[in-house]
Amino acid sequence: MSKPTPFTLNIDDAQIADLRERLARTRFPDQAPDAAWTYGTDVSYLKDLVADWRDRFDWRAQEARLNALPQFKVRLHGIDLHYLQVPGRGPKPLPLLLSHGWPGSVFEFLELIPRLTDPARFGGDAADAFTVIAPSLPGYGLSFTPGQPRFSVEQIADAFAELMTGVLGYPRFAAQGGDWGAFITSRLGAVHADKLVGIHLNLLAVRRDPKMLAAPTPEEARFADELAHWLKEETGYQWIQGTRPQTLAFGLTDSPAGLAAWIAEKFRAWSDNDGMIEDAISRDHLLANISLYWFTGAIGSSFWPYVARMHGPWPIPDGGVRVPMGYAQFPREILKPPRSLAERMYTDIRRWSVMPRGGHFAAMEQPEALAREIVEFFRPLRPR
């Protein structure tokens, strides 16, 4: 088996200069009628974002934030998989796999990780420390090279299970995720249950259930309405990413402004903000995430879980997830299934927390609250 090698990110100066030149040549469309953001990214917002990205944003500072944490690459399942591995500071740190989603990256976790690895630094108990392993999903960011194999949720889960047990030598571990990371984590809990002490989620991987629609409770009826709106108004990106990813990749790989528009619209729609992304997520954190997609050229390959999901089976097998599960429901999450529906997929729900603030990008928006939930859920599951 291949051995991990230390990794440091260092984007060439020429790539940074090329990005700025491209941003300076951006050709913007006119603004569609009706209110801003009604039909996608607002033109005036994107003009400001592009100018900020070109003239003010300091990529080197964000690169240094990532490089301050131990990073590695390892040859696994036909690709060079990138991951952070940050040791816990406590008497017996529990290994914790953190999985991000789309359009996220490991930059999502930079505020969350220290709260998990060194809880005493933030007023917590060192006995709650985790050793955090946070991979870049295959095909995303630093786990991408042109022409490499594409991965489904099922394949990512298998690769992560091998990373944790075979490469890093953890016989059992904890796992947490949102977005595709929630699907990956749920898949791990279903098919690699013997390796998991439990899973924690901030998005639920549940299916539409005809039984729910036949005689719904009030909570289930609310969710049915929420789901109907989501399917009608918010899933266009899924269809094009899942059916014509190659075509879309040309525009987003060639135009940084186009890439920024595609990603920023999701950060605004899915985060807990008052009309501006920056109400929930700082401008620098947003641009760091977009920049990583740009510099790695990974936007096209990042679509592949949508392709696999649209053309393959549901990734959670019949029988569901039987390992202990905890869930933090943030109020601006894209979908919030009721517990009655979740219990048909997750048969051992130990913690269900309704959070006061936050949205889809919980690790970036509310790192302290999410860290607290993760700590509280796993505390009774830690090996004695």
Rounded to whole angstroms, how far apart are CA atoms 225 and 113? 36
250 in Cβ contact with 64 (< 8 Å):
no
293 in Cβ contact with 261 (< 8 Å):
no
Rounded to whole angstroms, how far apart are CA atoms 26 and 13? 20
Interior/surface letters 35-57, b for 16+ CB within 10 angstroms, e for the rest: eeeeebbbeebbeebbeebbeeb
- Here the tokens at position 94 are 């529990």
DSSP 327: E
CA atoms within 13 A on the CB side of 143: 31
Give the DSSP H or E segment for 256: helix 256-270
Which backbone phi and psi does 82 adopt, to 5 degrees? -95, 140
Tell me which long-range contacts 82-85 makes (C-beta under 8 A, separation of at least 24): 82/7, 82/106, 82/135, 82/136, 82/141, 82/142, 82/143, 83/133, 83/134, 83/135, 83/136, 83/163, 84/109, 84/113, 84/132, 84/133, 84/134, 84/135, 85/131, 85/132, 85/133, 85/168
Question: Which of 286, 265, 371, 262 is closest to 108 using CA atoms?
Answer: 286
User: Which residues are CB-neighbours of 232 under 8 A, at least 6 positions away?
Assistant: none
Which of the residues are catalytic?
179, 306, 360
Q: What angle do CA 158, 80, 260 make, to 5 degrees?
A: 95
DSSP 286: H
Rounded to whole angstroms, how far apart are CA atoms 274 and 179? 22
H helices of 68-199, in order, are 113-117, 153-162, 180-191
Q: Is 192 helix (H, G, I), strand (E, B) or coil?
A: coil
Residue with tokens 């549901």: 314
| Burial status of residue 27 (CB atoms within 10 A of its CB: 0-12, 13-18, 19 or more) | exposed
